[in-house]
């Protein structure tokens, strides 16, 4: 089953039975934001994710989770180069932080008002998301974030791209930001930061 080879799925098979699944793009956006929320326990994330996607959660929780991930990945197998990696180290966009850019990009390129459209299947949204034109401001921003600056690049170019990375950097998770703020404060006041760097708290 694929975007061009059949009807887009609105059910998934779990333990031999078909179960309805919510397909609107907003659900999968909420799922991404949920996964990236460091203030929610993993067990709670699983329950919330299942409640997001399934009108009635299947009894086979493990199977339901596997099919949820299959749907989120648009029917594609996981790979080392997967564009849907949710880890903080590989993120080049954030649906919450970049909402304005994404809205403007879809409106400009596709004529789609994402706030007014009643339903858009996640697989269609994802295809259009990664199909945004290279000249789009949002695509340029993702390029800056994901770019590796080679050592042989001219100094002026390095300075430019480092500045762009700084300007368009995604915010750190709240716990990491608090740790960085504490380290900065300790350094400014001549304090000992060894405990902070090791992950410990302040005395």
What is the per-residue pLDDT across 112-140, written as a single tens digit (0 to 9) for each?
999 999 999 999 999 999 999 999 999 99
pLDDT tens-digit series, residues 144-153? 999 999 999 9
* Domain extent listing, the chain: 11-133
Q: Sign (positive/negative) of CA torsion 133, 72, 27, 35?
A: negative
Residue with tokens 């793009």: 25
Closest CA to 64 of 46, 76, 78, 82: 46
Cα 118 to Cα 24, 25, 54: the distances in Å are 9, 10, 19
pLDDT tens-digit series, residues 47-58? 999 999 999 999
- The whole-model pTM stands at 0.80
What's the chain's length in residues? 203
pLDDT grade, residue 201 (50/70/90)? very low
pLDDT grade, residue 82 (50/70/90)? very low
């Amino acid at each position: 089953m694929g975007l061009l080879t059949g009807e887009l799925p609105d059910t998934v098979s779990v333990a031999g039975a078909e179960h309805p699944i919510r397909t609107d793009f907003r659900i999968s956006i909420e799922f991404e934001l949920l996964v990236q929320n460091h203030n929610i326990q993993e067990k709670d994330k699983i329950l919330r994710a299942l409640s997001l996607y399934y009108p009635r959660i299947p009894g086979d929780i493990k199977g339901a989770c596997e099919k949820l991930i299959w749907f989120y990945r648009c029917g594609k197998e996981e790979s080392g180069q997967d564009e849907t990696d949710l880890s903080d180290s590989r993120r080049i966009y954030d649906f919450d932080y970049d909402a304005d850019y994404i809205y403007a990009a879809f409106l400009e390129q596709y004529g789609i008002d994402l706030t007014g459209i009643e339903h858009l299947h996640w697989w269609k949204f994802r295809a259009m998301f990664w199909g945004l034109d290279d000249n789009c401001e949002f695509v340029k921003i993702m390029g800056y974030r994901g770019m590796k600056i080679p050592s042989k690049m001219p100094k002026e170019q390095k300075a430019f791209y480092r500045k762009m990375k700084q300007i368009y950097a995604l915010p750190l998770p709240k716990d990491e930001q608090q740790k960085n703020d504490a380290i900065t404060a300790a350094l400014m006041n001549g304090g000992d930061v060894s405990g902070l760097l090791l992950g410990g708290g302040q005395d």
